[in-house]
Amino acid sequence: MELAASLKKLESVKVLIDAGVSPNVRKDGSYTPLASAIRDNSADIVTYLLEHGADPNFKAVEFPTFKCITHKRTHFLPQLVAAGADLHTPKGIIETAVFHKDKDALLYLLDQGVNPNDRCPEGGKTALTTAIRENSLEFVDLLLNHGANPAVRGQDWPLCMAVRNPIVLKRLLAVPGINPRAFRGCVEMAVHAGQLESVKLLLGAGVSVEDKNCGVFSPLTTAIREGHKSIVRYLLDEASADPNAPGEHLPLVKALRSYDGHDTEVIQMLLSRGADINHMHRGWNPVLQAVENSDTEILRLLVSLGGPVDLQAVDETGRPVIDIVGDRDWEEGLALLFPKSSSPRGRS
């Protein structure tokens, strides 16, 4: 029967039906006559099979309704629905329409009452998150206008995915009732994506500039790590980010670790805005990082712009900076920290 349908032999299909062959038998355990007729756009065979017992909900490789979308056969959908096809089970058909950029199918499904927030059984994708991922602004607008909820998780949270595209993010933030503060780390994600406009939109919507992704990564430290100097400047000067609030490290420590040996702009930016060279976090501070780097010019910069150095500040083991520095055989650095002696042990 499936072979007859694939060969577009309607008369052969009729003979087999009259002989009692079921129209719902799978070939090779996968292919059904109805699915093959849809695939091959054989309208007369589709009609005949449905009129003679073909089940519009019987799965081949995929369900007949899904086949209509994946093979651009949207015109068969009303016929399948009239024959009893269930557009609501399994979930995911509306996401399939978005993925295949089939606007006609999407509009038909929405008109038939398919929930735009349905999640695919595998991967949990929704129509909205797929539209966001594919940067399909037209589909985002269609879905939002038909009740898609940006607070429903798909493959990820819609708001977190939208930070990569400020135009889409703006659309989501305009939905009544959306609370961007519920999605922890979205500002840091916008920073990581290098999207200053998304950062501005989220902060304008009330998200804290200190909000951390996974409770660790702050917008400021991520901007420093990723080299987004314009975002660093905006966070410090416009958004009032705390230059001493730790993310995965203290901002100044992160800047020192990210230093390429040439550009000190971010380091100077932090120092001029109040970064404390003596502030300890997890037993480490900017002075110790400068000593670790053994970079005389950087240590001189810290001392000149952020001094004096607190040599009695202690790490998590209780050791003071003076002892930690004294263990390093770095004459130039020691001379900067102890200008009257090359060694802390030589101080009177």
The pLDDT score that the predictor gives to residue 343 is 54
Measured CA to CA in angstroms, residue 53 lies from 20, 66, 227, 229 at distances of: 11, 19, 64, 66
Could you tell me which residues are beta bridge partners of residue 213? 217
Q: How far is CA 242 from CA 187, 209, 211, 218, 269, in A?
A: 15, 9, 12, 11, 12
Which range, of 16-25, 193-202, 219-228, 303-312, averages the lowest pLDDT?
Answer: 303-312
pLDDT tier for residue 340 given thresholds of 50, 70 and 90: low
For the whole prediction, is pTM greater than 0.85? yes
pLDDT tens for each residue of 45-74: 999 999 999 999 999 999 999 999 999 999
CB 236 within 8 A of CB 205: no
- DSSP alpha helices (H): ranges in 40-134? 43-51, 64-70, 77-82, 93-99, 103-111, 127-133
Query: Are 277 and 309 spatial neighbours (Cβ–Cβ below 8 Å)?
Result: yes
Query: Quick one: pLDDT at residue 347?
Result: 47
Question: Band of the pLDDT at 196, cuts 50, 70, 90?
Answer: very high
Confidence band for 311, pLDDT divided at 50, 70 and 90: confident
State mean pLDDT over 251-274: 95
pLDDT at 144 over 70: yes
pLDDT at 334: 81
Neighbours of 250 (CB within 10 A): 27
Does pLDDT of 151 surpass 50?
Answer: yes
Minimum mean pLDDT range among 75-79, 136-140, 293-297, 343-347: 343-347
Neighbours of 310 (CB within 10 A): 17
* Helix or strand run (H / E) with residue 199: helix 196-204
Please give the single-letter amino acid code of residue 320. P
Predicted confidence (pLDDT) per residue in 282-310, tens digit: 989 999 899 888 888 999 999 999 978 88
> What domains are defined for the chain?
179-275 (1.25.40.20), 276-339 (1.25.40.20)
